Structure 1
Amino acid sequence: MNGNRFGRLFQVTTYGESHGEAMGVTVSGCPAGLELTTDDVQADLDRRKPGQSMISTSRDEPDAVTINSGIQDGYTTGTPIGMVIQNKDARSGKYEPFITAPRPSHGDFTYSAKFGTRNWGGGGRSSARETVNWVAAGAIAKKILSSVGIELKAHVNQIGDVRSDDVSFEQILEHSEENEVRCADPDAAAEMRELIDDYQEKGDSIGGSIYFEARGVPRGLGAPRFDSVESRLGQAMMSIPATTAFEFGLGREAREWAGHDRNDEWEFDENDDPRPVTNRHGGLQGGITTGEPIYGEVTLHAPTSIPKTQTTVDWETGEEKDVQVIGRHDPVLPPRGVPVVEAMLALTLVDFMLLGGRVNPDRLDDRPGAYETDYHPSRPET
């Protein structure tokens, strides 16, 4: 099975299954000299871990990370960083009824059809449990980006038909972690919570979306065509389980705009450098960064594991039957998906920064030019 590695210079290789012994990730390409502890990684894992609120799965996983290579005296050495997260509350027995009877809208049948076998406990490799590895690697990427003046954040901007008001990047930074929904608009967050509770009481689930933004990204990253920032970022976001849409800039709204209205005109900044007057392209033009904020949305469908009665077939007995997926599952995905989106954004950007020579690929230190960014302060769209 291929497809377990992400990135070109900053490479992330993962392993593990939902109800296996452990999840694990190896990060190659992290420069030496980055101060890094387990606390740096654990902070983001705690935001993603199960059982953190009444609107997440009750699976009791501490998701405690162990870093077992690539660190010496609290600093990265430039060699591969190995991290392991043990599965402490695996209960695969509940999935025995689905060994030959695929759960609706899961990867059960497609994995079996492709490989002739599969790890059936909780979906095995296809489970969103695997994203714990991505968040661990993303925490390292975020720390590298922070060291060169790049800041990123995401929040839940829609659940079902409840959408938040537009909020500033500063509001997202300040308020998105203040409620269980991870929405920076407190009024919308309260409505979202009521809606989630309603679906949970009915034994059903609901979808939503996550808004993300990155500031301080230098101009000139990316290359046409298949190495454009949006194509790589699209691959990253569409890899997240349950993702059905990825947008940047105006996204789907662009279909309603005339060219004259959508186009970002140019002006000179205080340094007499060209910069776009607006940022409707989401910081990307021609597949290359403009120096303006990169922003967009990721849509996640409703969780497919629900206790409502559904119909499937058993390919061993040849019978059609009604089933209930009984277990510990999230009624909604975006609240725990926020750190996953941030991780994939960070992993994509740090890879481009290394490829573009904006971060020294070997060492992070105080030498002049070691991590020159050509940083341009961002400003709100007008």
Structure 2
Amino acid sequence: MASTYGRMFRVTTWGESHGPALGAVIDGCPAGLEISEELIQRDLDRRRVGQSKVTSPRQEKDRVQILSGVFEGRTTGAPISLITYNADADSSKYDAIRDLFRPGHADYTYWAKYGHRDHRGGGRSSARETWGRVAAGAVARALLRTIGVEVYGFVRQLHTIQMETFDRDEIDRNPVRCPDPVAAEKMVQAILEAKEAKDSLGGLVEVRADNVPPGLGEPTADKLDALLGQAMFSIPAVKGVEIGEGFGAFLLTGKQHNDEFYMENGRVRTYSNHAGGMLGGISNGEQIVVRLAVKPTSSVSQPQRTVDIHGNEREILVEGRHDPSICPRVVPVAEAMMCLVLADLYLWNRMARV
């Protein structure tokens, strides 16, 4: 079961939703980078459950502990090991459905592949697995900031509600992480109504990276857009990824879609950014823009048809503590995956030429 990302900046995550702990090991981080538990915790606090009325009520502080690789506030070049301990795991709701396959979840496919699975919240297929990604992503973010790269994300649309204005400072002021305060209020109300109806909603999350230097990515197998697509698709609940103009590109002509060049202060720039910050699999120095289609949370407390491990048709009622929309918590995870890809390519790129 592969759980490792990257070639130079390598991250392996481990742990299950209802196991004793979760963690990540980072190998390949350069020495001398300023890192602290407080710095990592800032990103983890944006991901954790129980923050507001629109998330799962499960209470996990998600406190990170650095076990190795950092001494006197700086990385040593050795593997960095990060851990947190689950404090509020309640597996009792899963006992009654341990032999049933939950619709929309990975229960059946895990069972078909391995013949054995952790029924407690889905084990590794649970979104709780992303704790390690966000923890490692915070270290990658710190590395990227040494070259001026800034990564941020937001909820662009929730179900049918779209943002109409953009204020970056507004993103973390509301529980749905939408940069439009008016749309954010509508989104909150829609999530609460779905929660009351014991249902869930999906949406569109956007992630951007500013000040990315040109030249990151490889021209064939390890294209920047290919690696970003793989990273974003690995996030639970993500069903679609588009970069730049994305699926709207086919509505334009070639002349319209091409980003024409000009010079600004000795640097090549583009008048538009339909390509989303990359050409031929390599960053061009413009803003990287990636959007993720996030499906509605699969766990809904309504009767559904299913089968059990013996092949009998059954009815299932999934109870427990679940997010009525996973979109707000996907934002920090998507940011982390963007940071991991860019940090890895940045280190790789330093070997591209003399």
Identity of aligned residues (%): 44
Code of the aligned partner of 1:308: Q
Code of the aligned partner of 2:252: W
Aligned to 1:289: 283
| 2:216 corresponds to 1:211 | no
Question: CA offsets, 1:218-249, max 9 Å, x none?
Answer: 01111121111000000100000000011111
Q: Secondary structure at the match of 2:272?
A: coil
Aligned to 2:292: 298
Aligned to 2:220: 225
Aligned to 2:149: 150
Task: Map 1:284-363 onto structure 2 (within 5 A).
Answer: 284-316=278-310, 318-357=311-350
Distance in 1 (alpha carbons) for counterparts of 2:198 and 2:25: 38
Aligned to 1:378: none
Q: Secondary structure at the match of 1:177?
A: helix
Q: Flag as ranges the 4+ runs of structure 1 deviating above 4 A.
A: none
| 2:71 corresponds to 1:78 | no
- TM-score scaled by structure 1? 0.90
Aligned to 1:261: 256
Code of the aligned partner of 1:116: G
- TM-score scaled by structure 2? 0.97
Q: Secondary structure at the match of 1:122?
A: coil
Distance in 2 (alpha carbons) for counterparts of 1:320 and 1:227: 44
Aligned to 2:114: 115
Give the deviation of 1:279 after TM superposition: 1.2
Give the deviation of 1:358 after TM superposition: 8.5
| 2:184 corresponds to 1:185 | no
Match of 2:268 among 239, 252, 274: 274
Q: Secondary structure at the match of 1:52?
A: coil
Code of the aligned partner of 2:296: A
Aligned to 1:59: 58
Distance in 2 (alpha carbons) for counterparts of 1:274 and 1:12: 33
Code of the aligned partner of 1:114: K
Q: How many residues are treated as equivalent by the alignment? A: 353
Give the deviation of 1:93 after TM superposition: 2.1
Distance in 1 (alpha carbons) for counterparts of 2:351 and 2:211: 12
Aligned to 2:133: 134
Distance in 2 (alpha carbons) for counterparts of 1:44 and 1:110: 31
Distance in 2 (alpha carbons) for counterparts of 1:98 and 1:187: 40
Distance in 1 (alpha carbons) for counterparts of 2:146 and 2:282: 22
Distance in 2 (alpha carbons) for counterparts of 1:298 and 1:66: 30
Distance in 2 (alpha carbons) for counterparts of 1:258 and 1:98: 52
Q: Secondary structure at the match of 2:42?
A: helix
Question: Unaligned 5+ residue runs, structure 1?
Answer: 360-382
Question: Unaligned 5+ residue runs, structure 2?
Answer: none
Aligned to 2:23: 24
Question: CA offsets, 1:271-320, max 9 Å, x none?
Answer: 1x43222111111111111111101211110000010111111233x432
Distance in 1 (alpha carbons) for counterparts of 2:275 and 2:103: 37
Contact 2:50 2:60 in 1 (8 A): yes
Distance in 2 (alpha carbons) for counterparts of 1:306 and 1:50: 17
Code of the aligned partner of 2:211: G
Distance in 1 (alpha carbons) for counterparts of 2:72 and 2:63: 20
Aligned to 1:380: none
Aligned to 2:244: 249
Contact 2:100 2:316 in 1 (8 A): no
Q: CA RMSD in A?
A: 1.4
Code of the aligned partner of 2:268: P
Code of the aligned partner of 1:350: A
